Amino acid sequence: MKSAAELKESGGKGVGLAWTGTLLASMYFFWTAYHLRHFAKVMGNTYGTMGVALPLSTRISMVLPLQLVPLLMFLVVGFLIGKELLLQDKRMTLAITLFTVLAVNIGVNVIAANYLLPFQELMEKLGR
């Protein structure tokens, strides 16, 4: 770790940007977890009233946001904060933050796409 004198001498370049990126990413993760949880409840109610047989992946996706996603988001935010405290290269921490946001975004989109599988199957049956 750099001493306070070394950090002051370098002007603390990138520290504010790296922490801002971590803060924005953390806010995005909590917002995403909230909306994914809400979307899971809405889609669960929709499928419950339709009486559609759900594929296994969709049933798993209905449970994940309600149980595991909030926990995973807290763990990811803890990882981001720990990374900021432990790593000195702020370009590296910013890159890790961006890759983490990308990975979480891809995971959330996969979960959300699983909600729409029964609709896709229903449309294919109607089209035949």
Tens of pLDDT along 16-31?
899 999 999 999 999 9
Contact at 8 Å (CB) between 30 and 52? no
pLDDT of 122 over the 80 cut: no
Query: What whole-number distance in Å separates Cα of residue 1 and Cα of residue 24?
Result: 24
Residue 2 lies in a domain: no
pLDDT of 3 over the 90 cut: no
The residue assigned the tokens 């594929």 is 55
pLDDT of 7 over the 70 cut: no
Judge residue 15's burial from the number of C-beta atoms within 10 Å of its C-beta, 0-12 exposed, 13-18 middle, 19 or more buried.
Answer: middle
Structurally, how many domains does the chain consist of?
1
Average pLDDT, stretch 28-50? 88
Own/partner contacts of 111-116, CB < 8 Å, gap of 24 or more, are: 111/36, 111/61, 111/64, 111/65, 111/69, 112/36, 112/39, 114/55, 114/57, 114/58, 114/60, 114/61, 115/39, 115/40, 115/43, 115/58, 115/61, 115/62
pLDDT-above-70 percentage for the chain: 91
Query: What whole-number distance in Å separates Cα of residue 69 and Cα of residue 37?
Result: 8
- Domain with 52, as residue range(s), is 28-127
CA-based end-to-end distance of the chain: 65
Residue 17 lies in a domain: no
Higher confidence at residue 8 or residue 25?
Answer: 25
- Name the residue among 21, 6, 126 with its Cα closest to residue 83: 21
pLDDT of 118 over the 60 cut: yes
Residue 52 lies in a domain: yes
Across the chain, mean pLDDT equals 84
Residue 12 lies in a domain: no
pLDDT at 19 (0 to 100):
93
pTM recorded for the entire structure: 0.78
Q: Which of 51-55, 75-79, 116-120 has the highest mean pLDDT?
A: 75-79
